[in-house]
Structure formats: structure tokens, C-alpha cells
Amino acid sequence: MIRNLNIILIFTSVLMLSGVYALKFSIENTASERTALIAQISAQEGDLSLLKADWAVLNQPGHIDPIVRRHEAVLAIGPVKQEQFGSFAALRMRPAAPDNAALDALFLSLDAGIDPIDAILELEGIE
């Protein structure tokens, strides 16, 4: 009986030992992948910083102005005029108050079980 128990315990110990080693190697693999990802992120952040610096230089008016002047005739571009943006007079004003009669009719029809969207779809011929 004790011999069988010893054999079972040794077998269980070997299984547990192999499980611990497998876990150790799995964790080491995950750690190396994490280190590689951190290095890749750091390199990409450096590249992004360089691209932002290049973009800042290329967007300076002193850099853009000669290019614009060189292609001004071909592209038919000119300075922006105030009329291009429109005026406040062209904007529609908001209604002074909501249409209470229409809202009341909508709520009454909903209470009566009439679906206004369904009625519009029927008028359109969509079902």
C-alpha cells in the first residue's frame, strides 16, 4: 500500500515539475515578446516624433509661400476673401417657439396607436 502511494506521489511530483517548467518557459517567452514590443513601440514613437518635426517645418508659412507663388497662376488661387465665408444675414434664424399644435397632434396619434413613420412609409409605397 505504501509502495503504491509512493509511486503515485512520485508520478504526481514529476507531472507538477513538468508543469512548473512549462509555465516558466511560457512566462520567459511572454517576457521576451513584451520586451520586443516595448522596443518596437519606442522606435515607432521616435519615428513619429521625427515625422511631427518634419510636418512642423513643412507647414511653416515661409516654406509654403514660395510653393504657392510658383503655382498660383496654374491653380488659379488667390487670397481668401470675406465673401467666401458668407454672412450672418444668410443664416436661417431659429423658430421663436416650437410648434405646440404639431407636437400635441403627434403625441395624440402615438397614444391612439398610430405610427407616423409607418404612415409615411405607406404613402411612399415602402413596406
Q: Tens of pLDDT along 4-26?
A: 999 999 999 999 999 999 999 99
Query: Which whole-number Å values give the CA distances from 114 to 53, 103, 127, in the listed order?
Result: 61, 14, 16
Which residues contact residue 116 at a Cβ distance below 8 angstroms, ignoring those fewer than 6 apart? 106, 109, 110
**Do residues 82 and 97 share a domain?**
no
**Do residues 49 and 97 share a domain?**
no
The pLDDT of residue 17 is 94
Dihedral (Cα; 115, 120, 121, 123), 10-degree rounding: 130
Containing domain of residue 81, as a range?
2-86
**Do residues 124 and 96 share a domain?**
yes
SS3 assignment for 12-70: HHHHHHHHHHHHHHHHHHHHHHHHHHHHHHHHHHHHHHHHHHHHHHHCCHHHHHHHHHH
**Do residues 75 and 25 share a domain?**
yes
**Do residues 65 and 125 share a domain?**
no
Burial class (CB in 10 A: 0-12, 13-18, 19+), 27: exposed
Model confidence over 59-98: pLDDT tens digits? Answer: 998 988 898 888 888 888 888 888 888 888 888 887 778 7
**Do residues 47 and 72 share a domain?**
yes
Burial class (CB in 10 A: 0-12, 13-18, 19+), 118: exposed
**Do residues 51 and 103 share a domain?**
no
**Could you tell me which residue, 1 or 51, shows the higher pLDDT?**
51
**Do residues 109 and 76 share a domain?**
no
Model confidence over 41-60: pLDDT tens digits? Answer: 999 999 999 999 999 999 99
**Do residues 82 and 122 share a domain?**
no
- The whole-model pTM stands at 0.46
**Do residues 8 and 57 share a domain?**
yes
Q: How many domains does the chain have?
A: 2
**Do residues 14 and 51 share a domain?**
yes
**Do residues 43 and 105 share a domain?**
no
